[in-house]
Amino acid sequence: MSMFCHQCQETMKNTGCSMKQGMCGKSAEVANLQDLFIWCLKGISVWGHKAKKFDLYDNEAGFFIDKGLFATITNANFDRTAFIELIKESIAIRDRVKDSFLQAHKNKNGSDFSLSVPECATWIPNNEDDIKAKADSGAGGWLEIENEDERSLKATILYGLKGMSAYAEHAYQINKSCKEVFEFLMEALAALVDESKSQDELFDLVIKTGEMGVKTMAILDEANTTAYGTPEITQVNIGVGKNPGILITGHDLVDLEELLEQTKDQGVDVYTHSEMLPAHYYPKLKQYSHLYGNYGNAWWHQKEDIANFNGPMLFTSNCLVPPVKVDYKDKLFTTGAVGFEGLPHIPDRAEGGKKDFSTIIEMAKECAPPKEIETGQITGGFAHSQVLALADKVIEANYDGTSDKGFNVVAATITANPDITHWIVTAPNDEGAQGATRALEQAGIGQHGRTTVYRCRPLASGLGIRLVSLSLFFFWPC
Ligand code: SF4
């Protein structure tokens, strides 16, 4: 059995994972089931988008599509059984949406709907063998699209929708309303199986997908800040305490809040890992004294970090490295969009209820405290409101894109501002960032000095915008 997936930067030879297993550990069987599942989501969307013309909206179907797309992002869900169940559920939801549309059509027009629809809108598997056979046939996979330009446009749209669905899912857990986003998901997925769409129309949809992605980020920002306050610049402990701990990653702040509530006064501390680090910057979450700190390194470093942590770990939305040939597998838990065959999955909360993390908490109580792997603090929380609050302190400096000129302008800026000892420097290319770092170190500010230096490169090399922004440094005194 083979697969073809080119959805992330880990992909083989920068072209596509096409063997028995992807670079992320996703098997060909799961990859093909994910393709088939997305094809089924397109089937729901065909009817859902048509139903919109009759002012019909099925929120449950919208949220199902959203959660389903989310489950197919990289390093989220490797569970073949989960995808088979999702495919079955998608057929039932599709037929409900379809029936509702057909009835509305008949009521309005006095006759049955008779236009043709894509196969994904009507396919009915008789059993699991049918599902597996359809998945193995490559249904819904990219290689069904022969024209590379068309494939590229459609892939850009779908990957945009997947990212959007992740943001929307987190927002929905808080505000319980994402109708505009869910309707757009249906519109765009239906367009991906509409043979009449020209490449110009698909290009327009790429742009619209980007616009809706930005809008969805704003919806999530609003949901998070309304629920947890505006992120603040915060020192985060990277050492360890004496209590046993639970490590939590992903982006689901509601999961974290419920875990913090349930671990209160239990003698168990909660540590974030990698993707969950920004939780420390939210005022409401940082009030929990047992949100002890952040443990370990980036997501891809998790095997070493989990082994050292000693306690259990909860994956809330993604970033799972398949736990094969490891000793800690029995300490891992998944929830939300994440899944892996054999790992316990904490079920979704019932309407108005909360998730039950008691199994993880009881396990943590039996574990040793985390092993210390580093000490000190890191600083974060530079969200947009914090950046804007510092706007009048920002110093811009021109350079020509080279490391030497970058060094010169940063050195001059430091000399001209002797009272400032903490800097955040953003540079639009690697050369500028290197020059800035040299200047900061030479001035005694940096890794050997009395202060901390932050460096980031906001614009990827190779983007067109680089040409117009290459010559600017931004210095953020803090
Ligand atoms: S998601 Fe996995 S299988 Fe797909 S391109 Fe990325 S590494 Fe390869």
Q: How far is the CA of 386 from the centre of ligand 1 (A)?
A: 35
Q: Are residues 211 and 332 in the same domain?
A: no
Q: In this structure, are 56 and 199 located in the same domain?
A: yes
Q: Does 435 have pLDDT greater than 50?
A: yes
Atom of ligand 1 minimally distant from the CA of 22: 3
Domain end call among 305, 330, 365 = 365
Domain membership of residue 103 (yes or no) is yes
What pLDDT does residue 95 have?
98
What was the pLDDT predicted at 169? 97
Whether residues 351 and 259 share a domain: the answer is yes
What is the pLDDT, as a whole number, of residue 474? 59
For residue 448, give both structure tokens.
């050997």
> What confidence category does residue 478 fall into, taking pLDDT thresholds of 50, 70 and 90?
very low
Max Cα distance, the chain (Å): 81
Domain assignment present for residue 45? The answer is yes
Identify whether residues 172 and 32 lie together within a single domain: yes
* Alpha carbon distance 5, 14 (integer Å): 11
Do 71 and 178 lie in one domain? The reply is yes
CA 38, CA 140: separation in Å to the nearest integer? 7
Residue 446: its pLDDT value, please?
58
**What's the rounded Cα separation, in Å, for the pair 401 and 413?**
17
Task: Give the residue, 387 or 264, on which the prediction is more confident.
Answer: 264
For residues 208 and 241, membership in a common domain is answered with no
Residues 57/179, Cβ–Cβ less than 8 Å = yes
Per the domain annotation, does 371 fall within a domain?
Answer: no
Position 477 pLDDT exceeds 70: no
Instruction: Specify if 258 maps to a domain.
Output: yes
* Closest approach atom of ligand 1 to CA 74: 1
pLDDT of 396: 81
Pocket of ligand 1 (CB under 6 A): 5-8, 10-11, 17, 22-24, 26, 31, 74
Instruction: Say whether pLDDT at 390 is over 70.
Output: yes
pLDDT of residue 388: 80
Q: Domain of 336?
A: 234-365
Q: Is residue 296 part of a domain?
A: yes
User: Which one-letter amino acid corresponds to residue 400?
Assistant: D
Please give the mean pLDDT across all residues of the chain: 91
User: Is position 392 within any domain?
Assistant: yes
Q: Is the domain of 303 the same as that of 397?
A: no
Mutate to test the pocket of ligand 1, among 23, 35, 319 (most ligand atoms within 8 A of CB): 23
Same domain, 202 and 280: no
What's the pLDDT tens digit per position in 316-340?
998 899 999 999 999 999 999 999 9
Specify the CATH number for the domain of residue 308: 3.40.50.2030
pLDDT (tens digit, 9 = 90+) per residue, 251-267? 999 999 999 999 999 99
What is the number of domains present in the chain? 3
pLDDT of 472 reads 52
Is 1 inside any structural domain? no
Atom 6 of ligand 1 has which residue's CA nearest to it? 8
Whether 400 and 452 share a structural domain: yes
**51 and 110: one domain?**
yes
* Residues 218 and 253 grouped into a single domain: no
pLDDT at 1: 75
**pLDDT tens-place string over residues 447-472:** 444 344 444 444 333 322 232 333 45
Position 118 scores a pLDDT of 98
- Measure the CA–CA gap between 189 and 297, rounded to whole angstroms: 36
Q: Is residue 373 part of a domain?
A: no
Dump pLDDT digits (tens) for 169-193. Answer: 999 999 888 999 999 999 999 999 9
Residue 318's pLDDT is 83
The CATH number linked to 438 is 3.30.1180
Residue 195, both tokens: 């043979």
Please indicate, yes or no, whether residues 62 and 138 belong to a single structural domain of this protein. Answer: yes
Return the percentage of the chain with pLDDT > 90, whole number. Answer: 76
Position 153: which residue type? Answer: L
